[in-house]
Amino acid sequence: MPSNDRAASGFLVPQGYRPRLVEARLDTLLESFGCVEVTGPKWCGKTWTALTRSRSASRLDAPGERAAAQTDPRLALLGERPHLVDEWQEVPQVWDAARRAVDDEAGERGLFMLTGSCGLSPQQRGLISHSGAGRIARLAMRPMTLVETGDSTGQVSLARLLGGEGLDPCRSDTSVEDVARWCCRGGWPSNLGLSEDVALETAPQYLRAVLDERVFSEGRSVEQAESLLRALSLNVSQAATVNTLVKDSGLGSDGLARTTVEHYVSLFKRLYLLDDVAGWEPPLRAKTRVRVKPKRYFTDPSLPAALLGATPSTLLRDMQTLGLLFENLVARDLLVFLSTYRGLGNRLSYYRDEKGLEVDFIVESAGAWGAIEVKLSDLKADDGARNLLRLRKKVLANGAARNLEPAFMAVVVGRGSVAYRRDDGVYVIPVATLGA
């Protein structure tokens, strides 16, 4: 149902709302469960998306409504259904109240939505008595992909690639300058239609709000948190050790500093600032697995760009940093695409072995897998294809392991013009053609 029709039907569609890729998945979950929790970083658009499926709403970041819910959590659920409870984690007991209300309705679906921009602390989790299994579904949102901001045509479907359907050659001309602009602007819905100079203010203000509000309210040092975020930015798209983060953040080198870093990283994950991408372990490694640390990405490339003080013009003089930020952008979009697929087997990981072979991303869904190398320019497509073909050879070398062929192998490039299949079977895909 288009947004205009939804507004006419009594849904709370915000003016200027732009459709999101997760909408179809959200609709499916609302048809299947009594309640859906939508989580994600502040300002990513989850509240607006939930409002397009709501006929009433409670906002627990408003002092009056929060005080009422603290008195009786059921008050947060009052209103025409579907009813949205925004920032529900401000009163964790709302979770159990929603679960009980779903039970009381004996099979009714799509009654409530809960949105939250911060995961629960261990103390808050102690206030909840039920997991919500079978009653409350979960859906993660992130900032907008290039498809959603209108910067990608979306003609090359990741789902079709995983299904072995390949791609139809298509064109979308993009430059390194475009990549630098996308990385600094980010996927924040509030940036749509703004000039570049104005849009570049969003990420720094976002970080300031998170530090001054959330980090401070957790009783943590804003200064230490900011120092560690800068260290994480210096190591974005890499598998940095705790020792490296301790050194780069200037927090010291003793055991206390290591514990401090681990606590802050845990907090940043609860605030949906960071995504860990684990190492991939194909079955052929079953007896001699290589333990690799997760690579860390920010939920949006504009955040590390802001922490590094980068602008589109400065990034064009630092191609190494731009390449790492571009890899973060691709990770964001792939994670969003995977979140729109059903099932539990939708995963993003990376590959590294003891001989130094590394592939940026392994994408898995519905039992199929594909491998992706990320390059800033299509001039580097040969290098990416070489790694992908080495990985394929290694995975298939052990016949006894019966490993599946990759559904696809692709080099995703920033600067490029044509999406096509090379003679060696590797696809070259400009990011401005990639979609769900």
Domain ranges of the chain: 3-140, 146-435
Is the separation of the CB atoms in 93 and 127 below 8 Å? yes
Please provide the distance, in angstroms rounded to a whole number, between the alpha carbons at the two ends of the chain: 20
Residue 271: pLDDT above 70? yes
Just give the CATH number of 3-140.
3.40.50
**Contacts of the segment 70-73: beta carbons below 8 A, 24+ positions apart:** 73/97
Residue 256: pLDDT above 80? no
Segment among 194-208, 227-241, 329-343, 389-403 with least mean pLDDT: 389-403
Confidence of residue 291 (pLDDT cuts 50, 70, 90): low
34 CB-side CA count, 13 A: 19
Residue 381: pLDDT above 80? yes
Once rounded to an integer, what is the mean pLDDT over residues 30-43? 97
Segment among 53-67, 196-210, 240-254, 349-363 with least mean pLDDT: 240-254
Give the sign of the dihedral formed by CA 346, CA 147, CA 45, CA 217. Answer: positive
Once rounded to an integer, what is the mean pLDDT over residues 411-415? 98
Residue 287: pLDDT above 70? no
- Report pLDDT for 289: 47
Closest CA to 38 of 424, 48, 236: 48
